[in-house]
Amino acid sequence: MYRYDEFDQAFVEERCRQFRDQVERRLKGDISEDQFKPLRLQNGLYLQLHAYMLRVAVPYGVLSARQLRKLGEIARRFDRGFGHFTTRQNIQFNWIKLEEAPDILDELARVGMHAIQTSGNCIRNTTTDPFAGVAIDEIEDPRVWAEIIRQWSTIHPEFLFLPRKFKIAITGAAEDRAAIAFHDIGIRIVMGKEGRSEFSIYVGGGQGRTPVVASLIRPFLKKEQLLSYLEAILRVYNLHGRRDNLYKSRIKILVKALGIEEFKRQVDEEWEKLDKPSIDLPIEEYERIAAYFEPVNLQAAPIQNEQVTAREKADPAFAAFKRNNVFAHRVPGHVSVAIALKEPGKIPGDASADQMDAVAELAERFGHDEIRVTYSQNLVLPNIALSDLVAVYDGLVAAGLCSANFELISDIIACPGLDYCNLANARAIPIAQDIAKRFGEQKKAEDIGPLRFNISGCINACGHHHSGNIGILGVDKKGTEHYQITLGGSPGDDASIGSILGPSFPAEDLPEAIETIVAIYLEKRENPKESFLATYRRIGKEPFKDALYNPNALNSGGQSDALEEV
Amino acid sequence: MSEYYRGGFLEDTWVYINDDAPVPETGNVIVSLTRWRAGGACFSDLQGQVGVFVEPDDVFHEHTDRLSKLSLVSLSFPKFSDGRGYSQARMLREQLGFEGEIRGRGEILLDQIPLMMRCGIDAFEVCHEPTIAALKSEALPGIMHTYQSPVNDRFGRLRRWRGQIQG
Ligand code: SF4
């Protein structure tokens, strides 16, 4: 993974000093809260319902053991012993004191971390495939370019006061595990015409009140031209994106208003005029950065391991873990292990300081010092020898991190909701806890199969409910918390936006409604291999609607399907 | 405004002229882009230099705006959070080859000034009292290590991906 050199280190230390000074000026009253706000936001400091929240950048979700230990230490010293991993592959601390924020940043700087641009109307942390560099379906490791984008976008002086926040995702694999279609810019590494890899660039995707699947703006872009092309897109957006209405200010609205063709024309015109050599990355720099991402030197080993096989036979919990949380690795005899931070009943994405230490230790002992944070608020140990799998599993059991529900229905993505967020309409965490418990039984959950379940506490959609196979949105109905259900969203290659099922439910009726939806799926699927999403796409939403809102019609042979389809 | 900031506080010799006021015969004047475009005799008789003030949504016309005849462009930052002026400045410097003074006006705050400088803005009309006080008493709070080439480097065609601002 990337390691800070002297330059990066000096930069981040300078930044810490600058922030300390800004906090002092705020505490002295030299600058107002209004003027301080964009400064603190650009350092990841948010004001929430009860306290400040600090969002620390985990660039493209990659952590070393030392860094994860530091996050644990911060959770202990400055928070209440927990950290919360987010869908942006970052980590949040929810109980921070303003006066202590500069000290936290100093601590982070010691391990090459910071909170720069994790908030505010600027370019945010670039996200990528949590299995980058180890996945068997990978064309090329996207982390190299994610790091290049990180450096290019860091305090880019032109793009710190954009109309709105700006998110970039990149994937280098055949299967998109980074939800690139739901980003302001999505980048996909593809095989180009001459057998060289190139980039396909997508633009204008997003969640929020107006969910949009990104449009292809450029099918093939030479990799060495990436930065100037990004700069052209950002400039057109910075100059022409709407600034009069918060809800219309994302790039997706500009792309929609202009149409992708006209937007592309403006970007190309701007790109033509840019002084590309002064923007694009010099080849020496590319090589310097790429060298950090050389694959870990792993020796191929047998793909069967006696100890693993024996344990699978003897221990059903281990067998379930292996079925659901262990993934193929490009080097035979190795695996990637997903750690679900979704123990039913816990807060999705939360990890205690002790758990962070435990994972750090496993990464050091067995995992070549690497940990990934996933888009789905989980962790991954990407490089584990099959012969160490039992030891790793036992370590996870001891840390209370052995939920075998990765990508199952109880692996819920949820935003903080009303428990922390001052924009929320409704609570998200207790709903997630309740649903995860209902579907906590392993056999039942596995029978249901892969199911992306997302919850957002309000229309800002931080829990990405639009892209959940089942999505839940908290709404305010005459002052009480209600929940709207959407079905059929998907974050991956076949990206789609979920469709609203009907009127919302009060919290107490929601779990029942979810049970009904799942029951309909189990009843209607063609065979156990047909996933929830596939079944939904085949039969549409009517059977689910009928079961929820019109249970009597169900008994009359589902005629309402035909009636309502007109 | 009698003082503006350009490395230090200097006396401001420029005067803004609204569209409905006559252009004086002498002195350095800043007029709207529209008036400059309308052009005509009022500028040919002027004993002094001409600058234009532009709004965030103004777009320069490379071939007809006669930028080389201008000594100053004043960019507006109606709110510190409105970042269009940063793009306008870079376009002026890098694409239109403008070498005169680019000044920022509006809500100019201490922490934005180093960023503006990196985009090619070199003078600032500062109204915010704590910012004025800070500029008078201490160095700019900017970051010396930058991942992008600063605009001046681009002028010199000096390609530099990670650079250090000379203090
Ligand atoms: S979706 Fe709404 S409630 Fe949830 S974190 Fe975002 S803004 Fe807050």
Which DSSP string do the residues of A408-474 spell out, in sequence order? STTSEEE--GGGT-TT-SS-SHHHHHHHHHHT--HHHHHHH----EEEESSTT-TT-GGGSSEEEEE
- pLDDT at residue B152, as a whole number: 56
- pLDDT at residue A259, as a whole number: 97
> Has residue A401 got a pLDDT over 50?
yes
> Has residue B94 got a pLDDT over 60?
yes
Q: What residues have CB less than 8 Å from A61, skipping those under 6 apart?
A: A89, A127, A128, A130, A372, A373, A374, A375
- pLDDT at residue B161, as a whole number: 58
Nearest-CA residue for atom 6 of ligand 1: A462
Contact A290, A95 (CB under 8 A): no
> Has residue A538 got a pLDDT over 90?
yes
- What is the DSSP secondary structure assignment for residue A507, as one 8-state letter? G
- pLDDT at residue B2, as a whole number: 75
> Has residue A556 got a pLDDT over 80?
no
Contact A325, A414 (CB under 8 A): no
| Cβ neighbours of B161 in A, within 8 Å | 281-282, 285
Closest B-chain CA to A28: B130
Cβ of A121 and B81 within 8 Å? yes
The length of chain B in residues reads 167
B80 touches chain A (CB under 8 A): yes
Cα atoms in the Cβ-side hemisphere of radius 13 Å centred on A409: 27
Q: Which CATH superfamily is domain A417-549 in?
A: Sulfite Reductase Hemoprotein, domain 1 (3.30.413.10)
- Sign, Cα dihedral of B79, B82, B88, B94: positive
Ligand 1 pocket check for A454: Cβ under 6 Å: no
Question: Of ligand 1's atoms, which has the minimum distance to the CA of residue A426?
Answer: 3
Ligand 1 pocket check for A470: Cβ under 6 Å: no
Q: Which of A35, A157, A278 sits opposite B86 (nearest CB)?
A: A157
Are domains A6-109 and A137-293 of this chain identical in fold?
A: no
**Over residues A496-516, mean pLDDT:** 95
**Over residues A455-466, mean pLDDT:** 95
How high does pLDDT run on average in chain A? 93
Q: Nearest CA of chain B to the CA of A208: how many Å?
A: 21
Domain A306-398, classified CATH 3.90.480.20, yes or no: yes
Interface test with A, best of B77, B82, B84 (most A CBs within 10 A): B84
Contact A157, A129 (CB under 8 A): no
Structure tokens at A437: 């418990």
Cβ of A278 and B144 within 8 Å? no
Question: Of ligand 1's atoms, which has the minimum distance to the CA of residue A458?
Answer: 2
- pLDDT at residue A260, as a whole number: 98
Q: pLDDT-based confidence at A354, cuts 50/70/90?
A: very high
Size of interface A-B (CB pairs under 8 A): 94
How high does pLDDT run on average in chain B? 86
> Has residue B9 got a pLDDT over 80?
yes
- Dist CA A498 CA A510 (whole Å): 18
Q: pLDDT-based confidence at B156, cuts 50/70/90?
A: very low
pLDDT one-digit tens code per residue, B22-40: 888 899 999 999 999 987 6
Contact B4, B125 (CB under 8 A): yes
- pLDDT at residue B162, as a whole number: 64
Cβ of A160 and B80 within 8 Å? no
- Dist CA B114 CA B129 (whole Å): 18
| Cβ neighbours of A279 in B, within 8 Å | 148-149
Torsion of CA A88, A92, A98, A102, to 10 degrees: -80
Q: Which of A14, A31, A278 sits opposite B143 (nearest CB)?
A: A14
Cβ of B84 and A158 within 8 Å? no
| Cβ neighbours of A243 in B, within 8 Å | 82
Q: Which of A158, A282, A285 sits opposite B90 (nearest CB)?
A: A158
- pLDDT at residue B40, as a whole number: 66
pTM value is 0.92
The length of chain A in residues reads 566
Question: Of ligand 1's atoms, which has the minimum distance to the CA of residue A461?
Answer: 1
Domain A137-293, classified CATH 3.40.50.300, yes or no: no
Helices (H), B13-126: 33-38, 41-44, 84-90, 113-118
- pLDDT at residue B165, as a whole number: 59
Ligand 1 pocket check for A421: Cβ under 6 Å: yes
Q: Which of A98, A174, A164 is nearest to A132 (CA)?
A: A174
| Helices first, then strands: H and E counts in chain B | 6, 10
- Sign, Cα dihedral of A375, A381, A387, A390: negative
Interface list for B 126-165 with A (CB within 8 A): 130, 134, 141-149, 153-154, 157, 159, 161-162
B61 touches chain A (CB under 8 A): no
Residue A240 one-letter amino acid: H
Ligand 1 pocket check for A48: Cβ under 6 Å: no
In chain A, domain spans: 6-109, 137-293, 306-398, 417-549
Q: If interface means Cβ-Cβ distance under 8 Å, which residues of chain A face chain B?
A: 7, 10-11, 14-15, 18, 21-22, 25, 30-31, 35, 38-39, 121, 151-152, 154-162, 235, 238-239, 243, 273-275, 277-279, 281-282, 285
- Dist CA B84 CA B102 (whole Å): 14
- pLDDT at residue A353, as a whole number: 98
> Has residue A258 got a pLDDT over 80?
yes
- pLDDT at residue B155, as a whole number: 40
- pLDDT at residue B148, as a whole number: 83
Q: pLDDT-based confidence at B158, cuts 50/70/90?
A: very low
- pLDDT at residue B160, as a whole number: 53
More confident residue, A481 or B153: A481
**Over residues A200-225, mean pLDDT:** 95
> Has residue B153 got a pLDDT over 60?
no
The architecture CATH gives domain A6-109: Alpha-Beta Complex (3.90)
- pLDDT at residue A188, as a whole number: 97
Q: Which of B82, B87, B144 sits opposite A14 (nearest CB)?
A: B144
Q: Nearest CA of chain B to the CA of A111: how many Å?
A: 19
**Over residues A264-271, mean pLDDT:** 98
Cβ of B84 and A151 within 8 Å? no
β strands within B12-157, DSSP E: 14-16, 28-32, 50-54, 72-77, 101-106, 123-124, 145-146
**Over residues A329-346, mean pLDDT:** 93
**Over residues A47-53, mean pLDDT:** 87
- pLDDT at residue B52, as a whole number: 96
> Has residue B163 got a pLDDT over 80?
no
> Has residue A530 got a pLDDT over 80?
yes
**Over residues A152-171, mean pLDDT:** 95
- What is the DSSP secondary structure assignment for residue A496, as one 8-state letter? B
Q: Nearest CA of chain A to the CA of B59: how many Å?
A: 10
Q: How far is the CA of A422 from the centre of ligand 1 (A)?
A: 8
The burial of B152, by beta-carbon neighbours within 10 Å (0-12 exposed, 13-18 middle, 19 or more buried), is given as middle
Indicate the range of A36-45, A202-211, A545-554 predicted with least confidence.
Answer: A545-554
Residue with tokens 């405004």: B1
| Cβ neighbours of B114 in A, within 8 Å | 157
Ligand 1 pocket check for A134: Cβ under 6 Å: no
- pLDDT at residue A248, as a whole number: 94
Interface test with B, best of A16, A278, A281, A288 (most B CBs within 10 A): A278
ipTM of the prediction = 0.93
Q: Which of B104, B105, B87 is nearest to B96 (CA)?
A: B87
Beta pairing, strands A453-456 & A412-414 = parallel
Question: Of ligand 1's atoms, which has the minimum distance to the CA of residue A417?
Answer: 3
Ligand 1 pocket check for A460: Cβ under 6 Å: yes
Cβ of A35 and B90 within 8 Å? no
| Cβ neighbours of A25 in B, within 8 Å | 130
**Over residues A138-158, mean pLDDT:** 94
**Over residues A323-338, mean pLDDT:** 96
